[in-house]
């Protein structure tokens, strides 16, 4: 199969039919052998009824429905597990992403050797606050990840099938799929300017809390990428450093006490110095950090995927 189009849906009953017909028209014109996968993320309107009717009328349409709302990442993960096309396209269901961009994205995957191509909504029809926070978030993500994308969170993306089968999207990690792909060894990540349309039906499903969640998820994915399989490298290093700092401070106080005694001077009590309590606290924190790293290593070693590695190709293994 040439192409799979994965579309998460949450309360978009007005747009589902129009989007399906639009995608079909584009794919038929390009003569793709394709499938359209709708993942209903626990909609409370008639979105699922519309998807069922469409699937009954068109064999290329597939659909699955969650019992409740789990979030976009869960919908994408489920769609990826179903997708069988050589190229996988994801897009939002609110008609703000244009299916007319599909041929260009597919061409970049097929002809230009990209593993992943992310859309860039250079001209956006969103409220000022959303555009402003998105700009800050994307700038931070670029610096943090080293991936030169202008719009990490654009829903319109294209992937090689191997990419979507090699990454696990969970929680709110759909914002960082390029980082997950890079962590999995797919470094050919490109970008394409895509059209963005004003919302035609309904209201946005995202509030300002997405800005806070985005930064917390950025820290999470950064930690997992660098220390997911070796937490001791972080916690052990920090714990050892802090313990040594506290030990040196305590040692200094002890040596000062001995100097006073040697000179037959009245020495102040070590416990009278605030530095004693600071040193003690730092040493305790350092010990806890080291133990955290040790426990993290035990958990990591017990993980069922501790020795799972993505193999690119092999020869003469039979």
Residues 191, 237 within the same domain: no
Residue 61's contacts (CB-CB under 8 Å, 6 or more residues apart) are 20, 35, 36, 38, 51, 54, 55
Cα-based angle 236, 240, 246 (whole degrees, multiple of 5):
145
Can you tell me whether residue 22 is helix, strand or coil?
helix
Residues 95, 15 within the same domain: yes
> What pLDDT score was predicted for residue 51?
94
Residues 121, 105 within the same domain: yes
For the chain, what is the domain count? 2
In a domain, 274, yes or no: yes
> What pLDDT score was predicted for residue 315?
55
Residues 192, 294 within the same domain: no
Phi, psi of 316 (to 5 degrees): 55, 45
- CA-nearest of 16, 33, 17 to 84 is 33
DSSP conformational letter for 97: B
**pLDDT 10s digit of each residue in the chain, 318 long?**
899 999 999 999 999 999 999 999 999 999 999 999 999 999 999 999 999 999 999 999 999 999 999 889 899 999 999 999 999 999 999 898 999 999 999 999 999 999 999 999 888 766 666 777 778 878 888 887 888 898 888 899 999 999 999 998 887 788 889 988 998 889 999 999 998 887 777 666 555 566 666 667 777 777 777 777 778 888 899 999 999 999 999 998 888 888 888 887 787 787 788 888 999 999 999 999 999 988 888 877 776 665 555 555 555 565
Residues 77, 22 within the same domain: yes
Residues 85, 221 within the same domain: yes
Q: How far is CA 135 from CA 151, 177, 296, in A?
A: 8, 18, 35
Residues 64, 181 within the same domain: yes
Residues 183, 286 within the same domain: no
In a domain, 11, yes or no: yes
Write down which residue in 226, 248, 272 finishes a domain.
226
In a domain, 60, yes or no: yes
Write down which residue in 226, 244, 261 finishes a domain.
226
Residue 194's contacts (CB-CB under 8 Å, 6 or more residues apart) are 97, 98, 101, 119, 120, 121, 154, 156
pTM for this model (two decimals): 0.75
Alpha helices in the chain (DSSP H): 16-29, 47-57, 72-82, 102-111, 128-145, 161-166, 177-183, 209-227, 232-262, 274-302
Residues 288, 143 within the same domain: no
Residues 236, 217 within the same domain: no
Q: Tell me the CA end-to-end span of the chain in Å, nearest whole number.
A: 28
In a domain, 312, yes or no: no
Residues 168, 252 within the same domain: no
Concatenated DSSP letters of 177-191:
HHHHHHHTT---EEE
Report how far residue 195's alpha carbon sits from residue 235's, in angstroms, rounded to the nearest whole number: 45
Write down which residue in 206, 226, 246 finishes a domain.
226
Residues 87, 213 within the same domain: yes
In a domain, 315, yes or no: no
What is the domain range of residue 129?
Answer: 3-226
Report how far residue 4's alpha carbon sits from residue 1's, in angstroms, rounded to the nearest whole number: 8
In a domain, 237, yes or no: yes
In a domain, 64, yes or no: yes
């Amino acid at each position: 199969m040439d192409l799979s189009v994965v579309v998460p849906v949450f309360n978009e009953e007005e747009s589902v039919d129009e989007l399906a017909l639009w995608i079909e028209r584009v794919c038929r014109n390009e003569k793709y052998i394709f499938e359209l996968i709708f993942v209903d993320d626990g909609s409370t309107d008639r979105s699922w009824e519309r998807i069922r009717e469409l699937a009954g009328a068109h064999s290329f349409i597939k659909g699955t429905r969650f019992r409740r709302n789990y979030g976009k990442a869960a919908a994408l993960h489920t769609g990826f597990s179903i997708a069988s096309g050589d190229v996988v396209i994801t897009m939002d269901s609110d008609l703000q992403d244009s299916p007319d961009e599909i041929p260009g994205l597919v061409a970049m995957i097929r002809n230009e050797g990209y593993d992943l191509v992310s859309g860039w909504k250079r001209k956006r029809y969103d409220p000022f606050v959303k555009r402003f926070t998105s700009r800050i978030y994307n700038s931070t993500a670029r610096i943090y990840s080293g991936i030169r994308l202008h719009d990490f969170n654009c829903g319109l993306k294209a992937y090689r099938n191997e990419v979507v089968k090699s990454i696990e999207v969970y929680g709110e990690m759909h914002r960082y799929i390029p980082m997950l792909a890079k962590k999995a060894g797919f470094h050919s990540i490109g970008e394409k300017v895509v059209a963005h349309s004003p919302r035609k039906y309904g209201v946005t499903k995202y509030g300002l809390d997405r800005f806070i969640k985005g930064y917390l998820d950025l820290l999470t994915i950064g930690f997992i990428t660098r220390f997911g399989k070796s937490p001791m490298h972080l916690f052990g290093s920090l714990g050892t450093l802090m313990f040594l700092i506290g030990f040196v401070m305590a040692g200094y106080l002890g040596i000062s006490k001995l100097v006073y005694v040697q000179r037959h001077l009245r020495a102040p009590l070590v416990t009278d110095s605030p530095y004693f309590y600071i040193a003690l606290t730092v040493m305790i924190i350092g010990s806890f950090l080291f133990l955290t790293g040790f426990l993290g290593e035990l958990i990591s070693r017990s993980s069922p995927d501790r020795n799972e590695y993505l193999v690119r190709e092999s020869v003469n293994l039979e």
